[in-house]
Amino acid sequence: MEEEVVTQTIDVTKVVLDTINSLCSNLFESINKSIFPELDKLIFLDSDVIESTYIEQIIGANFNNGLLVLAEFVLCAFVIYYSIKRFTSFYTGGEIESAPKFFVKAVVIGIIVYSSFSICSGIISITSEISSFICMLGKNIFHQEISFSNLIAKLYNSSSKDNFNIFSFNGIISGMISISSFSLILSFSIRYIVTKLLILLSPFSFLFLMNINTSGIFRCWVKSLFALLLVQIIMSLVLLLSFAIMKEGISNIFNQILLIGSTLTLMKSSQFVKEFINSTGISTDFSSGVSGIKSLFMR
């Protein structure tokens, strides 16, 4: 009995392409499920970011503990410096602000320093309410949550996972969005940490208003905090626009390109806010405040 040999031709190229597409599809899906929900938490900050027992302990509940103890020493240093300048002005004839004005300012700034934690919490809460209003407006219009995780879910549901092709236009878009998520989460992780750092430095930034030579540091602090929080509002608007584009038809190539542009806008939002604030002409040069500190001891 003769044996019949059956040969089967294997398309190596198709196998390789299917393997690559399967790996990329699983990778992008894993990234989107794990990273983008965390990105929502990093971008949309609220008062919970600072209402932590440990943060409160670091800052201190009064001038007897925490960073407020150091702030109290700095305040005393400004008072001592003024007293010395006031005494020497009788011999040098230099101009100096009146004692009643200075001590009233010292009392007011002392109260603000003591309440700096509450002030920062209020500012962040206001920003959170504005961004929440924008997202709620989008929810009422589009009848879905306005968030990164929901946006990405809609993008991936628009194309079948079984037909995913990394070498297609849709595949390239999926790859660009997933890869850009790494840059976004790193950028906003830094923003999250810097925001907390600025809050911890808030008592000292208010203290620098005690002297006109060091007020530049306070303006730099205000600008930095304002820019970091303004990014959150810009993000809400960009997300709202992205959902509007998606509602018009995600299958449209032009709309898909606009969605890519929206993602790139999210990545460039911090730079946009910085340029916007600088264009207002607000003087926030940190070096001017440092130079002011040097001038206190060189006069």
Percentage of the chain with pLDDT > 90?
4
- The per-residue pLDDT of the chain, averaged, comes to 75
pLDDT band at 62 (very low <50, low <70, confident <90, very high): low
Tell me what the mean pLDDT of segment 265-281 comes to: 59
- φ, ψ at 49 (rounded to 5°): -65, -25
69 belongs to a structural domain:
no
Q: Is pLDDT of 280 > 50? A: no
Dist. CA 251–CA 29, nearest whole Å:
20
Tell me what the mean pLDDT of segment 233-241 comes to: 85
Count of structural domains within the chain: 1
Residue 2: predicted pLDDT: 46
Residue 293: predicted pLDDT: 44
> What does the pLDDT look like over 10-44, one tens digit per residue?
667 777 777 877 777 777 777 766 777 777 778 88
Residue 164: predicted pLDDT: 67
> What does the pLDDT look like over 171-189, one tens digit per residue?
777 777 777 767 777 778 8
- Crossing angle for the helix pair 12-34 and 148-157, to the nearest 10 degrees: 160
Residue 281: predicted pLDDT: 43
Tell me what the mean pLDDT of segment 213-234 comes to: 86
90 belongs to a structural domain:
no
With CA atoms as reference, report the closest residue to 107 among 82, 151, 75, 85: 75
With CA atoms as reference, report the closest residue to 246 among 155, 168, 125: 155
**Range name among 19-28, 117-126, 250-259 with the lowest pLDDT average:** 250-259
> Quick check: 211 and 128 in contact, CB under 8 A?
no
> What does the pLDDT look like over 192-216, one tens digit per residue?
888 888 888 888 999 998 888 888 8
State the residue range of the domain holding 167. 12-60+118-298
67 belongs to a structural domain:
no
Tell me what the mean pLDDT of segment 108-118 comes to: 88
196 belongs to a structural domain:
yes
Q: Is pLDDT of 133 > 90? A: yes
226 belongs to a structural domain:
yes
10 Å CB burial of residue 254 (0-12, 13-18, 19+) is exposed
Tell me what the mean pLDDT of segment 83-111 comes to: 82
Q: What size, in residues, is the chain?
A: 299
C-alpha distances in angstroms, 113 versus 97, 157, 177, 211? 22, 51, 43, 15
pLDDT band at 98 (very low <50, low <70, confident <90, very high): confident
> Quick check: 142 and 33 in contact, CB under 8 A?
no
Q: Which of 50-54, 103-107, 211-215 has the highest mean pLDDT?
A: 103-107
173 belongs to a structural domain:
yes
Percentage of the chain with pLDDT > 70?
67
72 belongs to a structural domain:
no
Tell me what the mean pLDDT of segment 98-113 comes to: 88
Residue 273: predicted pLDDT: 59
